Chain A
Amino acid sequence: MGLFSSIKDKVVGTPKPLLTEAHIKSALSVVMDPDLHQDIVTLGFVRAIAINGSSVSLEVNLTTPACPVKEQLKSQVEDILKALPGVSDVTVTMTATTRAPQVSAAAATNPSLQHVKNIIAVASGKGGVGKSTTAVNLAFALAKAGSKVGLLDADVYGPSVPRMVRITKPAHDAGPNVIVPPESHGVKVLSAGMFSQPGEATILRGPMAGNVVKQFLTQVQWGELDYLIIDYPPGTGDIQLTISQTAPVTGAVIVTTPQEVSLIDVRKAISMFKTLKVPVLGVIETMSYFVCDGCDKKHEIFRSGGGERLAREYGVAFLGGIPLDPRVVVGGDEGSVQVQSLPDSPAAKAYSGAAGAVAQQLSILNSVDSGALNQFVLEWKH
């Protein structure tokens, strides 16, 4: 018997399990996406499986290049593949296709925003909380992760974005009443401040200011974007309403400083989005703490925990706390964006983390197919 089996082994060889695509998929079906609560095979993330002898290569296509658990998923997939019998060589490529909200074909009534997948409002009830700094850093962090990003500064009266970013590619006309926005390191940027002289005030009544913003959303060729970030002016007035009526805003990011006085106004901003049926993606707290360069102690200058408390109060995500860093201020004044110029600083890391969290919340939101029409027009037949 023993002799027989050893002869048989010599004749036909040890029966090797045949490596197939189905085999690989079933092995990977234990890898869960922590946000979408489904495995990566069911979600259709596993693509381009190629088996060549004992080497396997495949692609994992996530919902955003800014996915915070990207590396974790990659090593999990690699470990599982390497443990399969008959596999010696593994190549896993991480890619991403940003999902848009589920939209019906009847949609697209506004060609300017037709190819914009997600529109993110960055808002606070109060001025001076670091809203523009946050909007700029979120935009650059998402772009750095590989997304196509646009940044619209909707603060007509106090535009600060032109100072904060340096334009590397100028704007140009694309036909009558259509402009292609200028770019800063790949991010398409537009601001009312680009149309006035520095130091010159924009003096406009509400309806005119609204028209300016409306033009930015209807006469600008934003092109194909994964994310369009809109830096809202502070408050809950005319311009905020106009934006929310003109653009189908996917979700809002609320910016606050930790102290109660800031939170009072921020609650009003949240209530505005509730009225306008724009989902709140979460809260970012700025000026959370200051790390002393002399003693390395964290100083919580504006109290602590306000942002987290607010997020809990409304049942939304806390997207991150950003430390105070004098270099952020200097960078803002000089046109260098922290996530790009000082990527290893604590503030830049916090912004990148927050950007990942925003992208994550959008992916979760967009994974639910409500079948809602994003925009619609119905012509009545007589």
Chain B
Amino acid sequence: MSYIRVKDISQVDERTLGVLWTDGRKNKIDVVDLRRRCPCAVCIDEWTRAQRLKPEDIAESVRPVKIESVGSYALKVQFSDGHSTGIYTFQMLREAFH
């Protein structure tokens, strides 16, 4: 039993991240959208799950600096606005961005 994981990850264009999953599915993810949907405890209230981050506060010009794997289940993104605490699980990426 193995889980669905990342087979390939690449920069498609200046604001699109491409992910190829081990089951063959491809996702194209808008990086500004990715920043606006940050799941970290600062951006999402840990108890109510309400979004604290106001999407309109995030500039259209935000870009990743570096994207890194976290264990076998997630990735984290260091953004150009200095934010880097979000851990995006593979499951969340597959469900929220397609």
A interface list, Cβ under 8 A from B = 104, 109, 244-249, 275-280, 315-316, 365, 368, 370-382
Contact = CB atoms under 8 A, between A and B. Distances in A.
Contact of B71 (A248, A365, A380, A381): A248
A277 B14 contact: no
Given A279-B2, A382-B63, A370 B7 contact: yes
Contacts of B22: 370-372
B73 interface: yes
Given A365-B2, A368-B2, A372-B5, A378 B73 contact: no
Contacts of A248: 69, 71-72
Contacts of A378: 9-11, 17, 64, 66-68
A276 B69 contact: no
Given A279-B1, A380-B64, A245 B7 contact: no
Contact of B6 (A279, A368, A373): A373
B71 A247 contact: yes
B65 interface: yes
14 contacts: A244-B71, A245-B71, A276-B72, A279-B3, A370-B5, A370-B22, A373-B8, A376-B69, A376-B75, A377-B66, A377-B69, A378-B11, A378-B68, A380-B63
A380 B65 contact: yes
A61 B7 CA distance: 29
Interface in B1-49: 1-3, 5-11, 14, 17, 22, 31
5 tightest A-B contacts by CB? A277-B73, A372-B5, A277-B3, A380-B64, A378-B67
B9 A245 contact: no
B58 interface: no
Contacts of A109: 68-69
A104 to B, nearest CB: 8
A316 B75 CA distance: 27
B88 interface: no
A277 B72 contact: yes
Which among A104, A380, A381 has the highest number of chain B CB atoms within 10 Å? A380
A376 B64 CA distance: 15
B9 A376 contact: yes
B70 A245 contact: yes
A175 to B, nearest CB: 24
A216 to B, nearest CB: 15
At the interface, is chain A mostly helix, strand, loop or mixed? loop
A368 B10 CA distance: 24
Contacts of B73: 244, 275-278
A358 to B, nearest CB: 15
Contact of A376 (B2, B6, B14): B6
Contacts of A370: 2, 5, 7, 22
A30 to B, nearest CB: 29
Contacts of B87: 245
A277 B10 contact: no
A109 B70 CA distance: 11
Contact of A278 (B7, B10, B72): B72
Contacts of B70: 245
A381 B2 contact: no
A237 to B, nearest CB: 15
B6 to A, nearest CB: 5
Given A249-B72, A276-B72, 13 more contacts: A244-B72, A245-B70, A248-B72, A275-B73, A277-B71, A278-B73, A280-B1, A370-B2, A373-B5, A373-B6, A374-B72, A376-B68, A378-B68
A377 B6 CA distance: 12
A331 B1 CA distance: 36
A249 B69 CA distance: 13
A216 B70 CA distance: 17
Contacts of A376: 6, 9, 67-69, 75
A371 B63 contact: no
Which among B66, B71, B90 has the highest number of chain A CB atoms within 10 Å? B71
Contacts of B6: 372-373, 376
A375 B67 CA distance: 11
Nearest to B72: A277
Interface string B66-96: 1111111111000000000001001000000
Contacts of A278: 71-73
B82 to A, nearest CB: 14
Contacts of B5: 277, 370, 372-373
